[in-house]
Amino acid sequence: MTASDPINESAPDSLAYLTAVHRGLDPAMLATKYAAMRRSPFSYMRGACQLFYLSLPAEATISEAPPTWLCGDMHVENFGTYKGDNRLTYFDVTDFDQAARGPLTLDLVRFLASIRVGAEEWGVASDGTEGLVQRSLVAYATELGLGKPSWIERESAKGTVKRLFAQVAGRSRSELLGRYSTKKNKRRRLAIDGQHLLAATAEERAGVELMITGIAEAARDVDYFRIVDVALRVAGIGSLALPRYIALVEGRGSPDRNVLLDIKLAHPSAIAVLRPQVQATWGSEAERIVAVQRHSAIVAPAFLFSSEWDGRSYCVRELQPDDDRVRLHDWEKQPKKIAEAIVLMASVAAWMHLRGGGWLSSAPTEQLSAFGRESAWREPILELARRAADNTLRQYRDFVQAYDGGYFSDQSSAG
């Protein structure tokens, strides 16, 4: 198979698929999502996770790898810092919306493909991309083969990640509140700017209050979770256009000890939809996301909950000053810093997979470790990641042509 061949001839037409899966979503929010996907090939990849997996062939390289608990959307900007339940800050995988049980190579192929898709916009020379992908694969396999997950916290961080820790260390809760709210007469209100925060309806506010009340009762701290204000939040790319809210709650006292909560609709995992026969049974999609993240993370993030409203489930988490994702554009045209960060992410991915070993029918740690020490699967995975990246770039070119030609506007009008 050559680089110009389709990765999966039975894959759906990418434009028709995007139109179908997004039908019924809010047109204005969907327009924002498509505009974000139009920005670059990597942005497109982030917004089309389901299509990425649907386009992968059912090769033995994937299907014969041991199963573990997957992030499900393992790309290079889904790593970052967060504060754990123990109030320490860690660097780890941060997004588990697509979490599912499946062959570990699914995460790995998406991660390696994301390096290829984003390399040019980060300023990595074309002749350096191949070496970076191979180094990342070696780092992943080496750590998996050792069979013992490690972690990164502030004191042990080095290089690029150390700078990320230093960056968040200087932030305060007051500064975070200032990004999303305004203060008047010692009380705060969310700042509706029409771009990042939108006004919520009375029904939406009531729904959020219902969810937060349930969390408050479970936490036995009604005063802490007392609602001050609610708004719609516009953030991310993959989940953009799905309902997402931000709640300002009392916390330990107004105005500077208030707390911000992110409330995001949980949707089915693309991997779970394609491989339903190997999935665990969950009470809701949000329960799946929260349970997998709590088990797979070094330490569970602080204030991570699942809740339900109107027949749908939501993930609720605290927004923290320590939250930040790696943004490789910050080191554009600094290939050594970018390579350092990406190779470290590959190790972090292996540690995450090892933590899932033996949990809810995942392969035991010993089997995962043995797979990491094998070498026969490595070249096929590199080739599959290359083909997946080429396919994503082809899809992006089609998307740009269609977007610029008004295809999605016409579809929205027709729908």
Q: Is residue 385 included in any domain, yes or no? A: yes
* pLDDT single digits (tens) 120-163: 999 888 889 999 999 999 999 999 999 999 999 888 888 888 88
- Answer whether residue 3 shows pLDDT above 50: no
189-242 confidence digits (pLDDT tens): 999 999 999 999 999 999 999 999 999 999 899 999 999 999 999 998 888 889
Answer yes or no: is 54 within a domain: yes
What per-residue confidence (pLDDT) applies to 411?
A: 64
Q: What is the pTM of this model?
A: 0.94
Whole-number Å distance between alpha carbons of 309 and 312: 6
> In the predicted model, is pLDDT for residue 413 greater than 70?
no
What is the model's pLDDT at position 2? 38
> Residue 130: inside a domain, yes or no?
yes
pLDDT (tens digit, 9 = 90+) per residue, 354-410?
999 999 999 999 999 999 999 999 999 999 999 999 999 999 999 999 999 999 886
Chain-wide mean pLDDT for the chain? 91
Which residues constitute the domain of residue 143?
14-74+102-147+332-414
pLDDT at 289 > cutoff 80: yes
To the nearest whole percent, how much of the chain has pLDDT over 70?
96
Closest C-alpha among 285, 237, 236, 290 to residue 265: 285
Answer yes or no: is 137 within a domain. Answer: yes
| Domain presence at residue 347 | yes
| Residue 384 forms part of a structural domain | yes
Q: pLDDT for 110-120, tens place per residue?
A: 999 999 999 99
Domain count, the chain: 1
Other CB atoms within 10 A of residue 310 CB: 11
In a domain, 153, yes or no: no
Cβ distance 248 to 190 under 8 Å?
Answer: yes
Least Cα distance to 326 among 163, 106, 198 occurs for 163
- Find the mean pLDDT for residues 86-94: 91
User: What's the first-to-final CA gap in the chain, in angstroms?
Assistant: 38
User: Running DSSP on this structure, what letter comes out for residue 185?
Assistant: T
- Flag whether pLDDT at 5 surpasses 60: no
pLDDT value, residue 132: 96
Give the model's pLDDT for residue 149.
Answer: 97
For residue range 58-85, list pLDDT tens digits in order: 777 788 899 999 999 999 999 999 989 8
378 lies in a domain? yes
